[in-house]
Chain A
Amino acid sequence: DSGVTQTPKHLITATGQRVTLRCSPRSGDLSVYWYQQSLDQGLQFLIQYYNGEERAKGNILERFSAQQFPDLHSELNLSSLELGDSALYFCASSGTFGTGELFFGEGSRLTVL
């Protein structure tokens, strides 16, 4: 158990819809990262937050947004969903700013029909 909790574990929705994925980092970790894992794209870095502030951005689509709340949990919002957004979305947390080990949750599997 990494200590990182992601909900929901599975989500099935339709094209055009909006979903929110939630992540609770390990106790005390200030950094939260979001990754998308798909068969054709591999593990893609989306975005990083540190203590509530966005610190690094990767290949995140404009239809996607994220935030980190004062209690350090984070949410990833995916809107106007397309079939190609079907993937496993991982959250990871870290106790250091950028240079340390990432602790991954078990992921949220999104299926868009």
Chain B
Amino acid sequence: AQSVTQLGSHVSVSEGALVLLRCNYSSSVPPYLFWYVQYPNQGLQLLLKYTTGATLVKGINGFEAEFKKSETSFHLTKPSAHMSDAAEYFCAVTANTGGFKTIFGAGTRLFVKA
């Protein structure tokens, strides 16, 4: 079975500062990895995904993530935070373990200070 751990339920940064949201996964088979964002009263929407190939993945709104197999990590970064980035972020892993299940981490709420 696969699992996802997001380090830090809350992260606070100043506007213009680096955003780093941490995600570690566990999977017995090669995983597909995703980051989703959830704004208040909305469903989740995809920021970026890793399936195969290049380990540095670029997504929407200036976010990117790097797949590091040796560290079983898929951390999300953005060089400069904007106020509009304040939201909850979920890391997710999909693996074929007797059916494709997409398992989500507990989420990290990002606060951006002016």
Q: Interface on A for B, CB 8 Å cutoff?
A: 2, 4, 33, 35, 42-43, 45, 48, 55-58, 90, 92, 97-99, 101-102, 104-107
Q: Are B41 and A106 in contact (CB under 8 A)?
A: yes
A43 to B105 alpha-carbon distance, docked (Å): 8
When distances are taken between beta carbons in the complex, the residues of chain A under 8 Å from B87 are: none
Q: Are A43 and B43 in contact (CB under 8 A)?
A: no
Closest to B41 in A: A106
Q: Are B102 and A104 in contact (CB under 8 A)?
A: no
- Nearest first, the 6 closest Cβ-Cβ pairs linking A and B are A98-B100, A56-B99, A104-B43, A43-B104, A42-B106, A104-B44
Cβ distance B23 to chain A, nearest Cβ, rounded Å: 14
Q: Are B42 and A99 in contact (CB under 8 A)?
A: no
Q: Interface on B for A, CB 8 Å cutoff?
A: 32, 34, 36, 41-46, 49, 51, 90, 94, 96, 98-107
Q: Are A102 and B99 in contact (CB under 8 A)?
A: no
When distances are taken between beta carbons in the complex, the residues of chain A under 8 Å from B103 are: 45
- Can you pick out 14 interface pairs between chain A and chain B where the beta carbons lie within 8 Å of each other? A2-B43, A2-B45, A56-B99, A92-B44, A98-B94, A98-B101, A98-B102, A99-B100, A101-B34, A102-B36, A102-B44, A104-B43, A105-B43, A106-B41
Cβ distance A88 to chain B, nearest Cβ, rounded Å: 9
Q: Are A98 and B43 in contact (CB under 8 A)?
A: no
Q: Are B100 and A56 in contact (CB under 8 A)?
A: yes
When distances are taken between beta carbons in the complex, the residues of chain A under 8 Å from B106 are: 42
When distances are taken between beta carbons in the complex, the residues of chain B under 8 Å from A92 are: 43-44
